[in-house]
């Protein structure tokens, strides 16, 4: 069984500053994938970044990067140069390799202060 925990229900950041959203997970699989999704007020689910567990290098996508600590089962998301459009709910998710059973965390609501 997989579990995904997001311990920060809400966070805020000043525009142009950096913020880190936390995510811890637990899985018995050796092969798995981790994801961060963004859900703006429109409710659309948007993939922000993905990480393959077998890759040691942390994934980056423009202003978004992750800190993947495999031994600690931690997968935090860093948003640099925060913009007003980053305000949204962010979900962390885990999926074992070769399977389609996906587990999401409970989400972190990010507020960006102008």
Partner 1 sequence: EAQVTQNPRYLITVTGKKLTVTCSQNMNHEYMSWYRQDPGLGLRQIYYSMNVEVTDKGDVPEGYKVSRKEKRNFPLILESPSPNQTSLYFCASSSAERLDNEQFFGPGTRLTVL
Which residues of the chain form contacts with partner 1 (CB under 8 A)? 4, 6, 9, 33, 43-45, 47, 50, 52, 91, 93, 95, 97, 100-107
State how far the Cα of 63 lies from the Cα of 96, in Å rounded to an integer. Answer: 27
State how far the Cα of 43 lies from the Cα of 41, in Å rounded to an integer. Answer: 5
Q: For residues 51 and 82, which CB has a smaller minimum distance to partner 1 in the complex?
A: 51
Q: For residues 101 and 114, which CB has a smaller minimum distance to partner 1 in the complex?
A: 101
Q: For residues 15 and 31, which CB has a smaller minimum distance to partner 1 in the complex?
A: 31
Q: Are 58 and 49 in contact (CB under 8 A)?
A: no
State how far the Cα of 90 lies from the Cα of 52, in Å rounded to an integer. Answer: 19
Query: Comparing C-alpha atoms, which of 99, 108, 97, 107 is closest to residue 12?
Result: 108
Q: How far is the CB of 100 from partner 1 (least distance, A)?
A: 5
Q: How far is the CB of 106 from partner 1 (least distance, A)?
A: 4
Q: For residues 9 and 81, which CB has a smaller minimum distance to partner 1 in the complex?
A: 9
Q: Which residues does 55 contact at the CB level (< 8 Å), separation at least 6?
A: none
Q: How far is the CB of 2 from partner 1 (least distance, A)?
A: 10
Q: How far is the CB of 62 from partner 1 (least distance, A)?
A: 17
């Amino acid at each position: 069984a997989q579990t995904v925990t997001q311990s920060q229900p809400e966070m805020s950041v000043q525009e142009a500053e950096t913020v880190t959203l936390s995510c811890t997970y637990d899985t018995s699989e050796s092969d798995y994938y981790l994801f961060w999704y963004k859900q703006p007020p429109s409710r659309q689910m948007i993939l922000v970044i993905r990480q393959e567990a077998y890759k040691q290098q942390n994934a980056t996508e423009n202003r978004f990067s992750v800190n993947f600590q495999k031994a600690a089962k931690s997968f935090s998301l860093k948003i640099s140069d925060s913009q007003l459009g980053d305000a949204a709910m962010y979900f962390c998710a885990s999926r074992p390799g070769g399977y389609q059973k996906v587990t999401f965390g409970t989400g972190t609501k990010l507020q960006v202060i102008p």
